[in-house]
């Protein structure tokens, strides 16, 4: 029996990535569901039953416990990103899947640099747009975002292999989501907790901004999941003559599914 280091790294990072994502996405949609239930009843307590017991959740406007007693859901997002980025390196940057081996326009190293730059620039563009008045007009923001995503996929398809193009759009979505959590959701929450612990008022805009980013994450995660499993169906997805169009359709279907889940 031979010990294939690359294959074992692939297995370990893939398992860790999938499991971390389950924890992250599960908690995200759980709180989305809670918000939806409370909207229907005017923030009345939500009762649930699970594993032989009853649970009730009440939304609080003030903090009545020490900050150390407040539970955060943050490490799942970071673990998902770090294991995903490691997997990206093992399978693509070091695994020879970045460019077409027959007709490539750049080297694997150059393609890898472009791939990492895409993640950084994509986050900057998204974050900048969210800070503009466009973000308050959801239909316009969604259309603009879709056009930019498909345009990016088209440009990447001229440099990367089709499979690498798909995975980098998924990685871009993942980068945006984890950056939202650690850079735009957690900092306002820290300020809210610090103010509440001192009995001081805090701006509701802090919570509103964090909630908007969280909402965006619930829309990004569904097409991201589609993209991540697309490598198991090459004929229908990245191997198609209409790969970019199929990717665009998958994103739209994902956004539609997210909208339905948010209303459930």
- Residue 1: pLDDT over 60: no
SS (H, E, C) 215-255: HHHHHHHHHHHHHHHHHHCCCCCCCCCCHHHHHHHHHHHHH
pTM reported for the whole predicted model = 0.93
CA distance 211 to 143: 21
- Residue 156: pLDDT over 80: yes
Looking at the chain, the whole-number percentage of residues with pLDDT higher than 70 is 98
Q: The domain containing residue 206 runs over which residues?
A: 5-263
pLDDT at 57: 93
Structure tokens, 116: 């990492």
For residues 147 and 127, the answer to whether their CB atoms sit within 8 Å is no
Confidence of residue 3 (pLDDT cuts 50, 70, 90): low
Provide CB contacts within 8 A for 137, sequence distance 6+.
none
Read off the pLDDT of residues 110-150 as tens digits, 9 standing for 90 and up: 999 999 999 999 999 999 999 999 999 999 999 999 999 99
Q: Residue 147, exposed/middle/buried by CB under 10 A (0-12, 13-18, 19+)?
A: exposed
Structural domains of the chain, count = 1
Region 38-61: what's the mean pLDDT?
90
């Amino acid at each position: 029996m031979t010990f294939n280091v690359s294959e074992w790294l692939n297995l370990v990072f893939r398992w860790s990535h999938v499991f971390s994502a389950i924890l992250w996405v599960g908690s995200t949609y759980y709180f989305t569901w809670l918000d939806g239930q409370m909207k229907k009843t005017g923030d009345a307590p939500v009762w649930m039953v699970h594993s032989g017991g009853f649970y009730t959740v009440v939304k609080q406007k003030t903090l009545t416990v020490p900050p150390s007693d407040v539970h955060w859901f943050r490490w799942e997002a970071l673990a998902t990103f770090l294991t995903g980025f490691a997997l990206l390196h093992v399978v693509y940057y070091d695994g020879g899947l970045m460019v077409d081996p027959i007709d490539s326009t750049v080297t694997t190293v150059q393609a890898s640099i472009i791939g990492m730059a895409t993640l950084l620039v994509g986050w900057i563009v998204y974050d900048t747009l969210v800070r503009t008045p466009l973000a308050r007009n959801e239909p316009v923001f969604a259309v603009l975002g879709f056009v930019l995503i498909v345009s990016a996929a088209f440009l990447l398809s001229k440099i990367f292999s089709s499979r690498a193009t798909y995975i980098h759009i998924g990685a871009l979505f993942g980068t945006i989501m984890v950056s939202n959590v650690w850079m735009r959701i957690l900092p306002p929450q820290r300020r809210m907790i610090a103010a509440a612990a001192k009995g001081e008022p805090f701006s509701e805009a802090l919570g509103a901004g964090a909630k908007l980013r969280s909402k965006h994450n619930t829309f990004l995660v569904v097409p991201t999941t589609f993209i991540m499993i697309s490598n198991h169906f090459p004929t229908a997805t990245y191997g198609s003559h209409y790969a970019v169009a199929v990717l665009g359709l998958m994103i739209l279907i994902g956004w539609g599914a997210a909208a339905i889940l948010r209303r459930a």
